[in-house]
Amino acid sequence: MSAVPDDLRYSKEHEWVRLEGDTATIGITHFAQEQLGDVVFVELPEKSASVRQFASLGVVESVKAASDIYSPISGEVVERNVKVIEKPELVNTSPYEQGWLVKVKLADKGEINKLLSAEDYRAHIGETAGAGGD
Amino acid sequence: MPELRHTPLHERHVALGASFTDFGGWDMPVRYTSDLAEHRAVREAAGLFDISHMAEFLVTGSGAGAFLDYALAGRLSTLAVGKAKYSLVLAEDGGIVDDVIVYRTAADHVLMVVNAANIAKDEAHVRKHLPKGVAFADRSADTALIAIQGPRAADILARIAGGSVAALPPFGVKSARAAGAEATIARTGYTGEDGFEVFIDNADAAGVWQALLVAGRGDAIVPVGLGARDTLRLEARFSLYGNDIDETTGPIEAGLGWTCKLDKDFVGRDAIAKQKADGPKRRIVGLVVEGGVARHGHDVTSGGKVVGKVTSGTFGPTVAQNIALAYVPTELSKVGTALAVRIRDKDVPATVVKTPFYRRAA
């Protein structure tokens, strides 16, 4: 597993998006789960809730603290990952596959352009790590 | 911001790949790999902790025991040589200045381990009441403290400190050599498991630390950071000063009334006697929270009304539940009472449960 898969788009807040037609699968990155530590609780929006790009999507709690997740994209929640609610550690063990959080029906495909490519995201976390982490 | 202080083991932690956190001005390892893995290692095998940030006071002289009877809530004058006891430093109004462990290492020789953040006020308290003929010294700057905790701890420690340490009773303390270094070894800890705390000179810390890691390799010993230290102590329902107890909380409501010996005179005695006679208006309780992680500072509610506050909360890895300590009105403190914790503006169901949340098998 690559730490930053090439086929995804990324937010600066360390969420990823996988596009399939007009549906976006959303999760948090390998880098994010590493920074958080062991995830023990995940709170996600209900099905058919609408989410806005860069607004709060939910919360993941690690042993030490709660962290907000921001939606990288606007749209309507069409599915939430029930497995990750039952087994929050999937966020750590499989951030890009079994640890996905929600699927969203896109409201505006143009928003994708506001997200980072894999290459840009790599540079972004390289800089963050270089500055001593956050 | 002033520079963070380093323990004598700092370079070991860096070499082990630890993440660090500012803990009361100390740059302390928060985890080496994973909070959950480190927590489990202590419950199932053994964990090694650097707690050198803790402070050590030495109180010496023939009147040391009698002095501590007055300065602390408990009766220390009758503490046998080679034994340790948990006690409280109280203010005149009964507020908790600190919680400490007192080790009687010789007839006229008492070691007092206090919380790093409270050194200044503890020292002021001790000095204020110190009689002639009793000497006080703060040994913190020269002393390192390593804890080894878990079911394999006794066997591992015996390999570097001799078999006699395994014969120490709980809360026993003795002098011994550990990996060739002069050490004071106590069967105490903050995890709810069997284990030891090893006091050594700073210069010997790295040698003892390394010797324990090597001696415990076959037993799957791991270094453990403050993250797991907190989940371990909360499952075992040990109070954390600054979270669960402080100068605004009294021993009775904090569930620590058993440490106060009212049949002697001590600083805070009259206030505690009154608290006891009146009965506390609120009590600290254990909560199991369904559907969210309670954290320090969250409100506790009953019927939508705020009735109390969470002082500690986390996911308990061994009990596999979200657990918390909270102060609630006495009438809502009975085991089984249904309450809620307000997490992100939602009232999440919580039930008062018996503590400790975790107790190791005898």
Is B18 part of a structural domain of the chain?
Answer: yes
Is B127 part of a structural domain of the chain?
Answer: no
Examine the domain organization and report whether B229 and B150 are in the same domain: yes
Examine the domain organization and report whether B21 and B150 are in the same domain: yes
Residue A133 is predicted with a pLDDT of 37
Is B62 part of a structural domain of the chain?
Answer: no
Is A56 part of a structural domain of the chain?
Answer: yes
The average pLDDT across A109-115 equals 95
Examine the domain organization and report whether B30 and B152 are in the same domain: yes
Q: At what angle do helices B153-161 and B202-215 cross, to 10 degrees?
A: 120
Residues 25-44 in B contacting A (C-alpha not used; CB under 8 Å)? 30-31, 34-36
Per cent of chain B over pLDDT 70 is 100
Give the pair of three-digit tokens for residue B183.
């050490």
Q: By the CB < 8 Å criterion, does B172 face chain A? A: no
Whether the Cβ atoms of residue A53 and residue A72 lie closer than 8 Å to each other: yes
User: With 80 as the cut, is the pLDDT of residue A128 above it?
Assistant: no
Is A81 part of a structural domain of the chain?
Answer: yes
CB contact under 8 A, B36 and A43: no
ipTM, interface predicted TM-score of the complex? 0.81
What is the CATH classification number for the domain harbouring A28? 2.40.50.100
Examine the domain organization and report whether B286 and B186 are in the same domain: no
A63 → closest Cβ in B227, B292, B344: B227
What pLDDT digit, counting tens, does each position of B16-66 carry? 999 999 998 999 999 999 999 999 999 999 999 999 999 999 999 999 999
Is B2 part of a structural domain of the chain?
Answer: no
Strand A39-43: give its sheet, edge to edge: A39-43, A56-62, A66-70
The residue segments making up the domain with residue B297 are 281-353
Smallest Cα distance from A51 to chain B, Å: 18
Residue A126 is predicted with a pLDDT of 87
The residue segments making up the domain with residue A62 are 9-125
Is A3 part of a structural domain of the chain?
Answer: no
Examine the domain organization and report whether B147 and B225 are in the same domain: yes
Is B68 part of a structural domain of the chain?
Answer: no
Smallest Cα distance from A8 to chain B, Å: 27
Is A2 part of a structural domain of the chain?
Answer: no
Examine the domain organization and report whether B175 and B294 are in the same domain: no
Structural domains in chain B (count) = 2
Strand ranges inside chain A, DSSP E: 9-10, 15-20, 23-28, 39-43, 50-51, 56-62, 66-70, 75-80, 102-106
Structural domains in chain A (count) = 1
Measured CA to CA in angstroms, residue A54 lies from A8, A62, A71, A103, A115 at distances of 17, 21, 5, 15, 10
Nearest to B187 by CA among B225, B154, B233, B152: B154
- Show Cβ contacts of residue B209 under 8 Å, excluding neighbours closer than 6 positions: B9, B12, B48, B50, B146
Please tell me the distance from the alpha carbon of residue B99 to that of residue A47, in angstroms, as a whole number.
Answer: 49
Chain A residues lying within 8 Å of B35, measured CB to CB: 37-38, 62-64
B176, B209, B235: which is the final residue of a domain?
Answer: B235
Is B275 part of a structural domain of the chain?
Answer: no
Is A131 part of a structural domain of the chain?
Answer: no
Q: Name the interface residues of A facing B (CB cutoff 8 Å).
A: 37-38, 40-41, 43, 59, 61-66, 89
Give the pair of three-digit tokens for residue B350.
């919580």
Examine the domain organization and report whether B204 and B148 are in the same domain: yes
CB contact under 8 A, A66 and B315: no
What is the interface size between A and B, counted as CB pairs within 8 Å? 38
User: With 90 as the cut, is the pLDDT of residue B108 above it?
Assistant: yes
Is A62 part of a structural domain of the chain?
Answer: yes
Is B330 part of a structural domain of the chain?
Answer: yes
Examine the domain organization and report whether B148 and B45 are in the same domain: yes
Task: Give residue B1's pLDDT band: very low, low, confident or very high (50, 70, 90).
Answer: low
Nearest to A98 by CA among A46, A55, A50, A39: A39
How distant is the alpha carbon of residue B61 from its chain centre?
27
What pLDDT digit, counting tens, does each position of A2-52 carry? 689 999 999 999 999 999 999 999 999 999 999 999 999 999 999 999 999
Is A78 part of a structural domain of the chain?
Answer: yes
Residue A64 is predicted with a pLDDT of 85
Question: What's the per-residue H, E or C state across chain B?
Answer: CCCCECCCCHHHHHHCCCEEEEECCEEEEEECCCHHHHHHHHHHCCEEEECCCCEEEEEECCCHHHHHHHHECCCCCCCCCCEEEEEEEECCCCCEEEEEEEEEEECCEEEEEECHHHHHHHHHHHHHHCCCCCEEEECHHHEEEEEEECCCHHHHHHHHHCHHHHHCCCCEEEEEEECCEEEEEECCCCCCCCEEEEEEEHHHHHHHHHHHHHHCHHHCCEECCHHHHHHHHHHCCCCCECCCECCCCCCCCCCCHHHCCCCCCCCCHHHHHHHHHHCCCEEEEEEEECCCCCCCCCEEEECCEEEEEEEEEEEECCCCEEEEEEEEEHHHCCCCCEEEEEECCEEEEEEEECCCCCCCCC
Task: Give residue A127's pLDDT band: very low, low, confident or very high (50, 70, 90).
Answer: low
Smallest Cα distance from A109 to chain B, Å: 31
